[in-house]
Structure 1
Amino acid sequence: MFQKIAVIGAGTMGNGIAHVFAQNGYPVHLIDVNADQLVKALQTIQKNMDRQVSKGSLTADEKLAAYERIGTFSTIEEGVHGVQLVVEAATENEPVKLKIFQELDRLAPADAILASNTSSISITRIASVTKRPQQVIGMHFMNPVPVMRLVEIINGYATDAATSDAIVALTKKINKVPCVVNDYPGFIANRILMPMINEAICSVYEGVAGVEAIDTIMKLGMAHPMGPLQLADFIGLDVCHSILSVLHQGFGNPKYAPCPLLGNMVAAGKLGVKTGEGFYTYPTGSKDLLVSDRFL
């Protein structure tokens, strides 16, 4: 069914999604209005594929073939021509996503499925701005996309069975594990994960324990590969705050309200890995995990 796939957004998630589709034999149109971001995305994909070659999970010939399947485009109109699926991986901002889907509905082929990689925004709401809500669905990939096997498939209120079945089948073809959920705030992954992260932040805020102690307890006591505070830094504290706000607004339950410490850190621009400091600091070139001076 899918001969050609478009991915909108060449950031961390978008380039990872393009990488995975291309590696599994699908020609990909990677779309971003920022030409520099497209160049950076291709460099990242090449670097990640080189790492796979060095580990023996990809041959040099397979890498070259996969890389050559990716074309870059700076406009949606050019990029969605002739595709059967569009995966939107733009910033986690509802007005931005709604605008993109309005354009996609106008420009993408009438039979194309429109998917969003959103981690929390309502698929039903996104679908409502299109004339094809039955063909709108969520494909929530996990970061880093080439490594993580889960794809959370979110059916909106109007998503039809044919669309859902096609996306589940495609997810299996790219060697991922699809888990189908319904469209409620945070879906499943973030409905469960974000309150845990928020509670860890509240524990720091209330002085119950330090950053390192909290993460060590969750790693050694609960067998988590990464502590919740390190994970929050990895996700982006602004993204965590945004998802918690969606949960809080969607359910109207104070248990989802973002911790005041999280709000302050976001306001101060301490967003985690991407800014070099969050609960930990990330000096360029350092592989050591160092707790931020603010929390020592």
Structure 2
Amino acid sequence: MKMKTIMVAGAGQMGAGIAQTAAEAGFTVKLYDWEPETVTKGLHRIKTNLEKEQAIGRKSQKETDAVFSRISPAELTEAGDADFDFIIEAIAENKKAKAELFDTLDKICPPHAVLASNTSSLPITELAAATKRPEKVIGMHFMNPVPVMELVEVIRGLATSEETAETVKKLAVRMNKTPVEVNDFPGFISNRILMPMINEAVYCLYEGAASKEAIDEVMKLGMRHPMGPLTLADFIGLDTCLSIMEVLYAGLGDPKYRPCPLLRKYVSAGWLGKKSGRGFYEYGR
């Protein structure tokens, strides 16, 4: 399949990053979100990112303008256009919401269109079951921040075709990413390893083993992590971390994946991390 146009459904932090990366690869990108204000914020985030790259000499003004000109807002109904070859879903990590979106996309998208999910933990097979084209449904899990991180986890559902998998791998390479195929298990590989580490760091704080600063410093200085696990959780979003831990706990049935009560408490309080202005640390908004 020769792709020209990509729709990104979901204009939050991940969706905006995917849209920017796709535009940098030369694609025409349509950015959709059911909240128009989120699209406006997403476009602003992209423009700010591009301007930062221009300021440090990584892009010229001409390149910045060209990339940004390839991204425009879209209505979901536009996905029915024959020009739409590929849709990447990047909404919140909620199985019901994702399944409903996939059902809608399946009904309106042209028959050849591939439906990919940027889910960080949910079963691709179950999302594919919401459609009548399970062979064209696949997981395409980008890392955050998308324009910087090289990895894309490629996850096939039970019915995903070889053609769809190869299309996604080629797309990832064109977007200057390295595709790594993993199996359709809860959390895949990245979050099955990362999230329990973050959850254990939260337990350390919860049980009073050390201060948040000390926990982060140990992992930065002792393990050479670029940022501590509690800071990383704030950047990911504590609600996202909790959702992934709940998927791991429910899907694998092992008590070692039980979300820390402190993580639940912070999410209930609306302390979601950097995006809300407060998580384990406080941030200016």
Question: Do Structure 1 and Structure 2 share a fold, with TM-score over 0.5?
Answer: yes
CA deviation vs aligned residue, 1:254-285 (integer Å, no higher than 9, x gap): 0000011111111111111111111111134x
The equivalent residue for 2:54 is 53
Could you tell me how far 1:129 is from its partner in structure 2?
A: 0.9
The equivalent residue for 1:290 is none
8 Å contact 2:79–2:108 — kept in the other structure? no
CA deviation vs aligned residue, 1:22-78 (integer Å, no higher than 9, x gap): 1110001111222222222211111111111112222211111111111211x3111
For the residue of structure 2 that corresponds to 1:119, the secondary structure is: coil
| Alpha-carbon separation, structure 1, partners of 2:225 and 2:233 | 13
The equivalent residue for 1:292 is none
The 1:23/1:70 distance shift into structure 2, 3 A limit, reads same
The equivalent residue for 1:251 is 252
Could you tell me how far 1:238 is from its partner in structure 2?
A: 0.9
8 Å contact 2:79–2:105 — kept in the other structure? no
| Alpha-carbon separation, structure 1, partners of 2:131 and 2:38 | 28
**Number of positions where the alignment pairs a residue of Structure 1 with one of Structure 2:** 283
CA deviation vs aligned residue, 1:175-224 (integer Å, no higher than 9, x gap): 11111111110000100000000111111111111111111110011110
| Alpha-carbon separation, structure 1, partners of 2:206 and 2:80 | 46
The equivalent residue for 2:68 is 67
1:32-181 equivalence runs, <5 A: 32-73=33-74, 75-81=75-81, 82-181=83-182
For the residue of structure 1 that corresponds to 2:121, the secondary structure is: coil
| Alpha-carbon separation, structure 1, partners of 2:109 and 2:192 | 32
Structure 1: unaligned runs, 5 residues or longer: 285-296
> Counterpart of 2:78 in structure 1: which amino acid?
E
8 Å contact 1:6–1:83 — kept in the other structure? yes
| Alpha-carbon separation, structure 1, partners of 2:80 and 2:55 | 34
1:274-289 equivalence runs, <5 A: 274-284=275-285
For the residue of structure 1 that corresponds to 2:46, the secondary structure is: helix
Could you tell me how far 1:80 is from its partner in structure 2?
A: 4.6
Could you tell me how far 1:137 is from its partner in structure 2?
A: 0.5
| Alpha-carbon separation, structure 1, partners of 2:117 and 2:229 | 25
> Counterpart of 1:227 in structure 2: which amino acid?
G
8 Å contact 2:216–2:231 — kept in the other structure? yes
CA deviation vs aligned residue, 1:144-201 (integer Å, no higher than 9, x gap): 1111111111111111111111111110111111111111100001000000001111
| Alpha-carbon separation, structure 1, partners of 2:284 and 2:11 | 25
8 Å contact 1:30–1:79 — kept in the other structure? no
| Alpha-carbon separation, structure 1, partners of 2:57 and 2:156 | 36
> Counterpart of 2:123 in structure 1: which amino acid?
S
Q: What CA RMSD, in Å, does the superposition of the two structures yield over aligned residues?
A: 1.0
8 Å contact 2:142–2:153 — kept in the other structure? yes
8 Å contact 2:217–2:228 — kept in the other structure? yes
8 Å contact 1:15–1:41 — kept in the other structure? yes
User: What is the TM-score when the length of structure 2 is the normalising length?
Assistant: 0.97
| Alpha-carbon separation, structure 2, partners of 1:145 and 1:58 | 17
For the residue of structure 2 that corresponds to 1:280, the secondary structure is: coil
2:197 paired with 1:196: yes
The equivalent residue for 1:221 is 222
> Counterpart of 1:112 in structure 2: which amino acid?
A
| Alpha-carbon separation, structure 2, partners of 1:58 and 1:157 | 41
The equivalent residue for 2:268 is 267
The 1:43/1:283 distance shift into structure 2, 3 A limit, reads closer
